[in-house]
Chain A
Amino acid sequence: MSTVAAISTPLSEGGIAVIRISGDKAFSVAEKVFRPVSSDKKISEMKGYTCAFGKIFMGDEEIDEGVLTVFRAPKSYTGEDVIEISCHGGVFVAKKVLSATIKAGCEIAAAGEFTKRAFLNGKLSLTEAESVIDIISAGGEQARKAAVSAKEGALYKRISYVKDKILKILGELSAWVDYPEEDIMELTPEELSSALCNIHEELLSLSKTYDNGRVLRNGIDTAIVGRANVGKSTLMNRFLGFDRSIVTDIEGTTRDIVEETAMVGDILLKLSDTAGIRETGDVVESIGVERSIKKLSEADLVLAVFDSSEKLSDEDEKIIEKLEGKKVIPIINKCEKGNEIDIEKIENVLGKSVSISAKTGEGIDNLEKKISEIFSFGTIDYSSGMIANERQKNCVDKALLSISEAVSLVESGETFDALTVVLDEALSAVLELSGERVTEAVVDEVFSHFCVGK
């Protein structure tokens, strides 16, 4: 049986999340995504029921740290080799870790898959098994419903577009191969390459929609930064409509990151009000400052707040320096209090600013407009079709991989019989999304588009 992985904790915000990997290749997958801190520790040599602390990688990119627990067959839930990776909670991180395991060779576990395996490996009784069937068939039903609704949707149309393109190439190659006596035009390597690259691009953009989709679903990670006491918390409360952060005139009142979500126009912002960034002797506050800096590097959008009534300080300039090249909206706050600040200097580095008064609400609508512009959500086409879940993304990525292979096959001058087999794989990955089967599809394509036969 193949090796499968899934997030085993509920898909919601929480302290930790667990990704479970089960199957023959569990250890080799784990070694690709997890590096124990004690470098002499080899996962494949770890005993059952033992743990290791380490870092989690997607390729060479470190994505989180966590704890890995080993269960050796048959002493595991499924009866197979099982690895569980506990990482930081939150849907995003957990999904990223799951993606890493898939890149490393796992397949996405189907609904009830672990339990099914447990049963097949004799770990469950028959009565328990019956409830498994319910889970699986419910999963199947869910998938069916999802497929049906997808059929009318934009995603289905986009996938159909890719499918038709692959099918067209396969149809042409098959007609050319199966009917050598007919005068069917031969595809040139150039035509093939360009068609394949086109498909590759479309799949890539489809694959990327998963991350855009995440932004849409989970909100835009937005960090509010600025030196202490420029009115960050007031701005946040302005967005939220109530007092969430402690707002005082004393510098350093916000000692930790405060997170909230707020709807700004059509857009969901995941706001983090960070502690002011300044040199501090206060231990608690200095931790806050450190976190603020980290938060900055992770955010999708930064709202940099400056005090209109004061000249740019060293601290302000440091912040401007740090923010160069990020998605930033410079905000000139406290516009009601006067205009001492050198706006030009800010705009030179960070782009056009917005003047507001967080306190009175003046200019907030301009800010909202600006946010919409940056994310061009005004023009985002919700009906353009997006990948909704990991399973779909898995299919698209599989197709992507096969198409890349096809491209290099054509480049290296390999014969077309090998090419068709790789394209079959790509097509079957795409068809998995719509539940059709490859060989019939190709045969139908040949007969409907080519005038062949004796």
Chain B
Amino acid sequence: MNYEMENYDIAIVGAGHAGVEAALAAARLGCKTALFTISLDTIANMPCNPSIGGTAKGHLVREIDALGGEMGRAADACFIQSRMLNAGKGPAVHSLRVQADRMKYHAYMKKICEDTPLLDIKQAEITEVRAENGRVTEVVTKLGAVYKVCAVVLATGTYLRGLIHIGETSYESGADNVIAPVRLTESLKALGLPMRRFKTGTPARVHKRSINFEILEKQEGDSNIQPFSFETNREGLENKVSCYIAYTNDETHKVILENLHRSPLYSGKIEGVGPRYCPSIEDKIVRFSEKPRHQLFIEPMGLDTDEYYLQGMSSSLPEDVQLKFLRTIKGLENVEIMRPAYAIEYDCVDPLAMRHTLEMKAVKGLFGAGQFNGTSGYEEAAAQGLIAGINAVKLIKGEEMITLDRASSYIGTLIDDLVTKGCSDPYRMMTSRSEYRLVLRQDNADERLTEIGHEIGLISDERYEEFLKKEEMIKDELYRVTKTTIRPSEELNELLVSRGTSPITTGVRLSDLIRRPQMFYADFAPFDKKREDLPYEIKEQVELKIKYDGYIAKQNEQIEQMRKLEKKALPEDLDYSQIRGLRLEAIEKLNKVKPHSVAQAGRISGVSPADISVLLVWLSGR
């Protein structure tokens, strides 16, 4: 029996990292929002590694923060260890990564949602999304409750028709044994969404007392901790735990190889496509048989628990085999498994079905975000959730939706990759995916996106003012540094020579000295008499802007070229077979992707420069 419930502007299906960002953005921007989750106890759950950030992912978190999302603040509030990865490999690839307290993170996000006006959290399974005349109208729960809505964001994670595999056993379930919704997929297919099946996995959780930490390599957090959020005060941030490193050995590999036949991956039981970035330990051993050992990280799940996560050991082998191979590892000889590793298959959508706004082409008002869109990772999910939530609001308010281009952010790159190239396995963000990576640094996410966040309405006037002040300070110091001349002195030349760079004989501009790869802004403090004591962020930006000036200018030139073509819009209803001069392969690809601009068309593999010329001529002839 169906029954009518109250109306909402926006319904969010799923309260993981995508759903929470979507819901918070929607409600904060003034829309009456319902956040549906199968269990209130798994809001913003981290069913895999309790870690936020990492390479390129750390960039995403900073960008989410600059646009007014929640993830950065939450991670700052709940982290127990923080490290800046890739220090020393160049500023473009510095990436912040924290180990978070899993339960605390969940509780923090749940409370933020509860405290947000206009946001209602509902424990319910959505079984149907209804549309009329190509526009979304209602969502229906398993109990039969019907909610009239104007927009829906699908953020079902790995739960949709979830199927867990552990050895010979398979059972229907979402992560952490939450019920797997089974009926929604049919409803989405009926709406015209192209659904597919992906696979992922997670390692075992083990008990702290069964680990011999004495003989493990210890990994400490940074002493100078940087927060994710541009709002978080750096004072008082501290590491509370250490992580540990262990290694597999011949014996481990032997146990695994002897039991491969019991893995559902190798017996052909799993049909979903698994991620390349996250192979199971059995995969690693088979594919990289020449490696004598594989590294694993042993990481705490939180402060109030003794569960430890074994990063690098994801597996779908039977529980008894898992125990056996783990116990071959030095330091884990007596290990006790609390939760076994498993592989999980789930339904998701082919992202080519979406526009850059994350709205489905087939149904107005229906958006997708997170693993539902074929990505992996909490950060990728949160980034999409934020954009989907904002655009659902824009749709309802009749405003133009936002799209971020590739040159603006990793978020823009992520979404453009998804809707232009699609993905054949769960998509993970990497710095090598961005051609503009010297410009898209984690340190300047605020410079790139705060203005946009403010315009959208998720960045307060107060924070925006702070941001403008910071920009002003950077500009002033940059100007001063380029106008300051440093005179040669014995002390200075000694320093220069000790770093392996040439001494100076006449006065040299300070900016030219900072530009030397061996030298840093801070080095010149004793010689730069008029220097004021500036905040860390200002000094960092001044240094980077000077050092990378040439590359940044070069990349900006490429960006300008790309943006010119980005402005040449292509109509979505265009039938490319009607355009004279396009090659067959190009017609086929263009008709599938329906690019929104000539620039996007140029990024589709199989579309040649000649095809782009044809499109340009065709466009200007209209």
Q: A residues near B, CB below 8 A?
A: 110-113, 116, 119-120, 126, 129-130, 132-134, 136-137, 139-141, 143-144, 170, 174, 176-183, 412-418, 420-421, 424, 435-440, 442-443, 446-447, 451-454
Q: A442 — nearest CB in chain B belongs to which residue?
A: B432
21 CB < 8 A contacts A-B: A110-B613, A120-B616, A120-B620, A133-B580, A136-B610, A136-B614, A137-B581, A177-B432, A180-B55, A181-B297, A418-B551, A420-B432, A421-B438, A439-B433, A443-B433, A447-B276, A447-B277, A451-B294, A453-B275, A454-B48, A454-B311
| CB proximity of B206 to chain A, nearest CB, Å | 15
How many angstroms between the C-alpha atoms of A310 and B500 in the bound complex?
Answer: 70
Contact of B91 among A139, A174, A417 (CB under 8 A): A417
Count the B residues whose beta carbon is within 8 Å of the partner chain — how many? 62
Q: Which residues of chain A are within 8 angstroms of B433 by Cβ–Cβ distance?
A: 439, 443
Q: Which residues of chain B are within 8 angstroms of A424 by Cβ–Cβ distance?
A: 435
Q: Which residues of chain A are within 8 angstroms of B621 by Cβ–Cβ distance?
A: 119, 126, 129
Q: Is the CB of A417 within 8 A of B92?
A: yes
Contact with A along B521-556 (1 / 0, CB 8 A): 000000000000000000000000000100100110
| CB proximity of A251 to chain B, nearest CB, Å | 60
Secondary structure class of chain B's binding surface, majority of residues: loop
Q: A445 — nearest CB in chain B belongs to which residue?
A: B432
Q: Pick from A119, A174, A417, A447 the residue with the most CB of B within 10 Å.
A: A417
Q: B622 — nearest CB in chain A belongs to which residue?
A: A126
Q: Which residues of chain A are within 8 angstroms of B92 by Cβ–Cβ distance?
A: 417-418
Q: Which residues of chain A are within 8 angstroms of B555 by Cβ–Cβ distance?
A: 421
Q: Is the CB of A116 within 8 A of B613?
A: yes
Q: Which residues of chain A are within 8 angstroms of B610 by Cβ–Cβ distance?
A: 110-111, 136-137, 139-141, 143-144
Q: Is the CB of A143 within 8 A of B608?
A: yes
How many angstroms between the C-alpha atoms of A412 and B620 in the bound complex?
Answer: 47
Contacts A177-B432, A453-B277; is A414 near B55 (CB within 8 Å)? no
Kindly state whether residue B617 has any CB partner on chain A within 8 Å: yes
Q: Is the CB of A414 within 8 A of B517?
A: yes
Q: Is the CB of B609 within 8 A of A110?
A: yes
Q: Which residues of chain B are within 8 angstroms of A454 by Cβ–Cβ distance?
A: 48-49, 203, 278, 311-312, 314
Q: Which residues of chain A are within 8 angstroms of B266 by Cβ–Cβ distance?
A: none
Q: Is the CB of A417 within 8 A of B517?
A: no
How many angstroms between the C-alpha atoms of A447 and B610 in the bound complex?
Answer: 31
Q: Is the CB of B421 within 8 A of A119?
A: no
How many angstroms between the C-alpha atoms of A113 and B610 in the bound complex?
Answer: 10
Q: Apart from A113-B613, A417-B91, A453-B275, list 16 A-B contacts with CB within 8 A.
A: A110-B613, A116-B616, A133-B580, A136-B613, A137-B580, A140-B583, A179-B55, A180-B86, A180-B95, A181-B295, A417-B89, A420-B432, A421-B551, A451-B294, A453-B284, A453-B312
Q: Which residues of chain B are within 8 angstroms of A442 by Cβ–Cβ distance?
A: 432
Q: Is the CB of A120 within 8 A of B49?
A: no
Q: Is the CB of A439 within 8 A of B580?
A: no
Q: A126 — nearest CB in chain B belongs to which residue?
A: B621
Q: Which residues of chain A are within 8 angstroms of B275 by Cβ–Cβ distance?
A: 453
Q: Is the CB of A180 within 8 A of B85?
A: yes
How many angstroms between the C-alpha atoms of A420 and B608 in the bound complex?
Answer: 25
Q: Pick from A414, A415, A454 the residue with the most CB of B within 10 Å.
A: A454
Q: Is the CB of A178 within 8 A of B314?
A: no
Contact of A438 among B48, B431, B435, B620 (CB under 8 A): B435
Q: Which residues of chain A are within 8 angstroms of B86 by Cβ–Cβ distance?
A: 177, 180
How many angstroms between the C-alpha atoms of A170 and B437 in the bound complex?
Answer: 14
Kindly state whether residue B479 has any CB partner on chain A within 8 Å: no
Q: Is the CB of B56 within 8 A of A416?
A: no
Q: Is the CB of B430 within 8 A of A416?
A: no
Q: A454 — nearest CB in chain B belongs to which residue?
A: B311
